[in-house]
Structure 1
Amino acid sequence: MMSYLGISILLAIAAYFLGSIPTGYLIVKALTGLDIREQGSGSTGATNVLRTAGKPAAIAVFVIDVLKGAAAPALVKLVYTFAPAGLLPADWQPWLVIMAGLAAVLGHSKSIWLNFSGGKSVASGLGVLLVMNPAVALSAFGVFLAVLGISRIVSLGSIIAAIAVSALMVLFGQPLAYCLFAALAGIYVIVRHRTNIQRLLAGTEPRIGQKLETEAKS
């Protein structure tokens, strides 16, 4: 029988490949023939898709990215539900869930199909959180929407929501493993937004409906 470590590695690899599905690239390529990586911010996420291919395409990308993020930890829970008793230690489950979640988040931003480029991992991270704890996920999404409604800046909403997730995990009394995921994934999402942070500080970050300054000049 395969070892615990072997099964864990296979789950991590499967989660990474789920996260790596290049949704934004494929949808924009199919609709417009453009390479999303060469447009706007270069991100394959829903915000850049909105600027490049419009609202329906952006909504499709967002929903699919959430689903692929959710599929990774759900796969772990599926294994625990249907695998023979004793295949994996019960107390490993939350740790394998965060392992799968982090692998999916990494895969979204460093897709093997796109030469290890991708999006900012916000939607895929939301999907992971929905499986971990829907209340935390929906509360974090509420924070995002509130900031977006006030500022109309997607990146600002994403950054503040990423910070809020750790506090929400503690507030909802979640396991240590889930709190660790919130901290690590939150930091990763913020790091992925470093160019956005620079533009926020410079006052040049575009609001919804606006082009990036570099696009306007080209």
Structure 2
Amino acid sequence: MALIPSQVLRAAILLSYFSILCHYKALDMPAHQTYGGSWKFLTFIDLVIQATFFGLCVLIDVSSLLTNGGDSREQERQHRKLIGLRDWIMAVLAFPVGAFVVFTFWTLYLYDRELVYPKLLDNFIPQWLNHGMHTTVLPFVIIEMRTTHHKYPRRLWGLVAVCVFSMAYISWTCWVHHVTGVWVYPVLERVSSIARAAFFGTMTLLIFILYVLGEILNSYIWEQPQKEKEKNKKQSLST
């Protein structure tokens, strides 16, 4: 038996994201007043994705409690639709985008923080909020993956969806630069056009890899033990 029910964990994580988003939006930062506001940053988009995902998880938990013992086929059908949407968001957005934000942020930060998170931002963003945006995202989504089975779509369609998201954000980043003349991230200011294109391509490849890793991890947590149980059951029946 789990020490903390998964429903309580999800509700707590959702509340933490609401707190992080509220504190982040309350920051008086010059970048928030320019074109695109907070929406030009992948970190903020990821926070919205995570909050939406865990909000859906909590909605499903509440729905399960309210309809427990009911025999309405329509309720069951709607419940399955919500679960299908939850699983799709987990596979295509919550895990790969969350892992991408954590991995790329800390890699660039440790190499040269001025490329992604200039020291000037320490005057606006407290350390706990920085970690809430760039660190705890991955543990939270792994906890959810560990406590609840999520059905992944076919890999091809999953990668297509991830590609669409990646291209949409890259296009949005380029559009913000076209309008303002400034790149969202300092690292993009310091490289040539060819290097910038290579950077975008590499980042897209990375998020593809993270999608596949999420699929493998989910399979390892849930499907592999089930296969072992079935194998052991067959062996016990044959003896």
Measured against the shorter chain, the TM-score band is 0.3 to 0.5
Higher helix share: 2
- Greater RCO, 1 or 2 (C-alpha within 8 Å, sep 6+): 2
Question: Which TM-score applies when normalising by structure 2?
Answer: 0.32
Normalising to structure 1: TM-score of the pair?
0.34
Max Rg structure: 2
